[in-house]
A = this chain, B = another copy of it.
Amino acid sequence: MSELSRASGVSVATIKFYRREGLLPPGVAVSATRARYDESHVRRLRMVRALVEVARLPLSVVRDVVTAIEDHSGMHEVLGTAHTALSRPGASRPGETPTTRALQQVDGLVRRQRWRVHAGSPSRAALARALDAYDSLGRSMPVDRLDVYAEAAHAVAAADVAGVPDDSREEAVEYAVVGTVLSEPILLALRRLAHEAVSARRFRTTRRPRD
Protein backbone atom coordinates (compact mmCIF):
# COMPACT_ATOMS: atom_id res chain seq x y z
CA MET A 1 0.00 0.00 0.00
CA SER A 2 2.91 2.35 0.58
CA GLU A 3 4.04 1.67 -3.00
CA LEU A 4 0.54 2.43 -4.23
CA SER A 5 0.71 5.68 -2.26
CA ARG A 6 4.00 6.59 -3.94
CA ALA A 7 2.75 5.70 -7.43
CA SER A 8 -0.50 7.64 -7.10
CA GLY A 9 0.59 10.53 -4.91
CA VAL A 10 -2.30 9.78 -2.52
CA SER A 11 -1.46 9.34 1.18
CA VAL A 12 -1.82 5.91 2.84
CA ALA A 13 -4.43 7.34 5.24
CA THR A 14 -6.51 8.60 2.31
CA ILE A 15 -6.14 5.28 0.48
CA LYS A 16 -7.45 3.46 3.57
CA PHE A 17 -10.33 5.89 3.78
CA TYR A 18 -11.27 5.35 0.13
CA ARG A 19 -11.01 1.58 0.69
CA ARG A 20 -13.44 1.77 3.65
CA GLU A 21 -15.81 3.91 1.59
CA GLY A 22 -15.85 1.31 -1.18
CA LEU A 23 -14.27 3.61 -3.75
CA LEU A 24 -11.20 1.43 -4.35
CA PRO A 25 -11.28 -2.37 -4.88
CA PRO A 26 -9.06 -4.50 -2.62
CA GLY A 27 -5.64 -5.59 -3.80
CA VAL A 28 -4.80 -9.29 -4.30
CA ALA A 29 -3.59 -10.64 -0.93
CA VAL A 30 -0.09 -12.08 -1.22
CA SER A 31 0.50 -12.59 2.52
CA ALA A 32 -1.23 -11.80 5.79
CA THR A 33 0.07 -8.23 5.75
CA ARG A 34 0.68 -7.50 2.08
CA ALA A 35 -1.57 -7.06 -0.94
CA ARG A 36 -0.66 -6.47 -4.56
CA TYR A 37 -2.06 -3.41 -6.32
CA ASP A 38 -1.73 -2.73 -10.01
CA GLU A 39 -2.02 0.05 -12.55
CA SER A 40 -5.84 -0.08 -12.38
CA HIS A 41 -5.69 0.88 -8.69
CA VAL A 42 -3.47 3.83 -9.49
CA ARG A 43 -5.90 5.02 -12.18
CA ARG A 44 -8.88 4.59 -9.86
CA LEU A 45 -7.17 6.49 -7.04
CA ARG A 46 -6.30 9.38 -9.32
CA MET A 47 -9.86 9.57 -10.57
CA VAL A 48 -11.41 9.42 -7.10
CA ARG A 49 -9.08 12.07 -5.79
CA ALA A 50 -9.80 14.37 -8.75
CA LEU A 51 -13.56 14.03 -8.27
CA VAL A 52 -13.29 14.66 -4.53
CA GLU A 53 -10.64 17.36 -4.43
CA VAL A 54 -10.94 19.21 -7.72
CA ALA A 55 -14.61 18.81 -8.62
CA ARG A 56 -15.53 18.75 -4.88
CA LEU A 57 -18.20 16.10 -5.43
CA PRO A 58 -19.63 14.46 -2.29
CA LEU A 59 -18.55 10.86 -1.67
CA SER A 60 -22.05 9.52 -2.34
CA VAL A 61 -21.88 10.94 -5.85
CA VAL A 62 -18.33 9.64 -6.43
CA ARG A 63 -19.65 6.23 -5.39
CA ASP A 64 -22.29 6.40 -8.15
CA VAL A 65 -19.53 6.92 -10.71
CA VAL A 66 -17.48 4.05 -9.26
CA THR A 67 -20.55 1.79 -9.29
CA ALA A 68 -21.18 2.60 -12.96
CA ILE A 69 -17.57 1.64 -13.75
CA GLU A 70 -17.74 -1.58 -11.71
CA ASP A 71 -21.04 -2.56 -13.32
CA HIS A 72 -19.08 -2.75 -16.58
CA SER A 73 -21.22 -0.03 -18.07
CA GLY A 74 -20.12 1.31 -21.44
CA MET A 75 -18.22 4.55 -21.83
CA HIS A 76 -21.34 6.56 -22.65
CA GLU A 77 -23.18 5.41 -19.52
CA VAL A 78 -20.16 6.01 -17.30
CA LEU A 79 -19.59 9.50 -18.69
CA GLY A 80 -23.32 10.15 -18.40
CA THR A 81 -23.19 9.25 -14.70
CA ALA A 82 -20.26 11.61 -14.26
CA HIS A 83 -22.08 14.43 -16.05
CA THR A 84 -25.15 13.81 -13.93
CA ALA A 85 -22.97 14.00 -10.84
CA LEU A 86 -21.57 17.36 -11.93
CA SER A 87 -24.93 18.94 -12.71
CA ARG A 88 -26.99 17.62 -9.84
CA PRO A 89 -29.14 20.27 -8.12
CA GLY A 90 -27.31 21.84 -5.24
CA ALA A 91 -23.95 21.55 -6.95
CA SER A 92 -23.92 25.24 -7.71
CA ARG A 93 -27.36 26.61 -6.92
CA PRO A 94 -30.48 25.50 -5.09
CA GLY A 95 -32.54 22.89 -6.84
CA GLU A 96 -35.77 24.80 -7.35
CA THR A 97 -38.17 23.30 -9.82
CA PRO A 98 -37.88 25.13 -13.12
CA THR A 99 -40.99 26.68 -14.67
CA THR A 100 -42.78 24.89 -17.49
CA ARG A 101 -42.08 27.91 -19.70
CA ALA A 102 -38.31 27.61 -19.19
CA LEU A 103 -38.37 23.85 -19.78
CA GLN A 104 -40.22 24.48 -23.03
CA GLN A 105 -37.56 27.03 -24.02
CA VAL A 106 -34.90 24.37 -23.38
CA ASP A 107 -36.76 21.68 -25.30
CA GLY A 108 -37.27 24.02 -28.26
CA LEU A 109 -33.56 24.74 -28.28
CA VAL A 110 -32.64 21.05 -28.05
CA ARG A 111 -34.90 20.33 -31.03
CA ARG A 112 -33.50 23.20 -33.12
CA GLN A 113 -29.94 22.07 -32.36
CA ARG A 114 -30.85 18.40 -32.98
CA TRP A 115 -29.18 17.45 -29.71
CA ARG A 116 -29.84 14.02 -28.24
CA VAL A 117 -30.55 14.77 -24.58
CA HIS A 118 -32.26 12.71 -21.89
CA ALA A 119 -35.56 14.19 -20.68
CA GLY A 120 -34.30 13.54 -17.13
CA SER A 121 -30.91 15.16 -17.71
CA PRO A 122 -29.93 17.44 -14.82
CA SER A 123 -28.32 19.82 -17.33
CA ARG A 124 -31.73 20.31 -18.91
CA ALA A 125 -33.19 21.35 -15.53
CA ALA A 126 -30.10 23.42 -14.70
CA LEU A 127 -30.43 25.35 -17.95
CA ALA A 128 -34.14 25.93 -17.32
CA ARG A 129 -33.37 27.24 -13.80
CA ALA A 130 -30.72 29.59 -15.22
CA LEU A 131 -33.26 30.91 -17.75
CA ASP A 132 -35.77 31.43 -14.94
CA ALA A 133 -33.21 33.43 -12.94
CA TYR A 134 -32.54 35.57 -16.00
CA ASP A 135 -36.24 36.14 -16.57
CA SER A 136 -36.92 36.91 -12.92
CA LEU A 137 -35.35 40.35 -13.43
CA GLY A 138 -37.94 41.30 -15.99
CA ARG A 139 -35.71 40.36 -18.88
CA SER A 140 -36.15 37.61 -21.35
CA MET A 141 -33.39 35.90 -23.30
CA PRO A 142 -34.15 36.40 -27.01
CA VAL A 143 -34.44 33.12 -28.91
CA ASP A 144 -31.82 34.07 -31.49
CA ARG A 145 -29.32 34.96 -28.74
CA LEU A 146 -29.92 31.61 -27.07
CA ASP A 147 -29.24 29.88 -30.39
CA VAL A 148 -25.94 31.74 -30.78
CA TYR A 149 -25.02 30.64 -27.24
CA ALA A 150 -26.00 27.04 -28.01
CA GLU A 151 -23.89 26.91 -31.15
CA ALA A 152 -20.91 28.32 -29.27
CA ALA A 153 -21.46 25.76 -26.50
CA HIS A 154 -21.62 22.99 -29.08
CA ALA A 155 -18.29 24.04 -30.64
CA VAL A 156 -16.70 24.03 -27.17
CA ALA A 157 -18.20 20.66 -26.25
CA ALA A 158 -17.10 19.09 -29.54
CA ALA A 159 -13.51 20.16 -28.89
CA ASP A 160 -13.74 18.87 -25.30
CA VAL A 161 -15.21 15.48 -26.16
CA ALA A 162 -12.75 14.93 -29.02
CA GLY A 163 -10.00 15.14 -26.39
CA VAL A 164 -11.47 12.52 -24.02
CA PRO A 165 -9.14 9.49 -23.89
CA ASP A 166 -11.06 6.30 -24.67
CA ASP A 167 -8.75 3.55 -23.43
CA SER A 168 -9.78 3.59 -19.75
CA ARG A 169 -13.11 4.65 -18.28
CA GLU A 170 -11.37 5.99 -15.15
CA GLU A 171 -9.15 8.24 -17.23
CA ALA A 172 -12.08 9.33 -19.37
CA VAL A 173 -14.14 10.27 -16.30
CA GLU A 174 -11.26 12.12 -14.67
CA TYR A 175 -10.54 13.99 -17.88
CA ALA A 176 -14.17 14.88 -18.55
CA VAL A 177 -15.10 15.99 -15.03
CA VAL A 178 -11.90 17.80 -14.12
CA GLY A 179 -11.60 19.30 -17.58
CA THR A 180 -15.14 20.65 -17.41
CA VAL A 181 -14.77 22.13 -13.95
CA LEU A 182 -11.35 23.67 -14.50
CA SER A 183 -12.12 25.13 -17.89
CA GLU A 184 -15.27 26.94 -16.78
CA PRO A 185 -13.35 29.93 -15.35
CA ILE A 186 -11.29 29.95 -18.57
CA LEU A 187 -14.43 30.19 -20.70
CA LEU A 188 -15.98 32.93 -18.57
CA ALA A 189 -12.78 34.98 -18.59
CA LEU A 190 -12.48 34.54 -22.37
CA ARG A 191 -16.00 35.82 -22.83
CA ARG A 192 -15.28 38.95 -20.79
CA LEU A 193 -12.08 39.53 -22.73
CA ALA A 194 -14.03 39.13 -25.99
CA HIS A 195 -16.63 41.60 -24.64
CA GLU A 196 -13.88 44.15 -24.23
CA ALA A 197 -12.63 43.59 -27.78
CA VAL A 198 -16.09 43.65 -29.40
CA SER A 199 -17.21 46.61 -27.30
CA ALA A 200 -14.13 48.58 -28.40
CA ARG A 201 -15.09 47.96 -32.00
CA ARG A 202 -18.69 49.06 -31.50
CA PHE A 203 -18.32 51.97 -29.10
CA ARG A 204 -14.81 53.36 -29.24
CA THR A 205 -15.49 55.80 -32.11
CA THR A 206 -18.99 56.70 -30.92
CA ARG A 207 -19.57 60.28 -29.77
CA ARG A 208 -20.90 60.70 -26.28
CA PRO A 209 -24.57 59.68 -26.39
CA ARG A 210 -27.38 61.90 -25.25
CA ASP A 211 -28.09 61.27 -21.63
Contact = CB atoms under 8 A, between A and B. Distances in A.
Given A159-B148, A198-B158, A208-B75, A115 B187 contact: no
A148 to B, nearest CB: 4
- Tallying the copies of this chain within the complex gives 2
A60 interface: no
Contacts of A50: 137
Interface residues of A, number: 95
A185 to B, nearest CB: 4
Given A80-B196, A188-B184, A148 B137 contact: no
A157 interface: yes
A90 interface: no
B187 A149 contact: yes
Nearest to A201: B116
A83 B185 contact: no
Interface of A: 40, 50, 54, 69, 72-76, 79-80, 83, 86-87, 92-93, 106, 110, 113, 115-118, 121, 123-124, 126-127, 129-131, 133-134, 137, 139, 141-142, 144-146, 148-164, 166-170, 176, 178-180, 182-204, 206-211
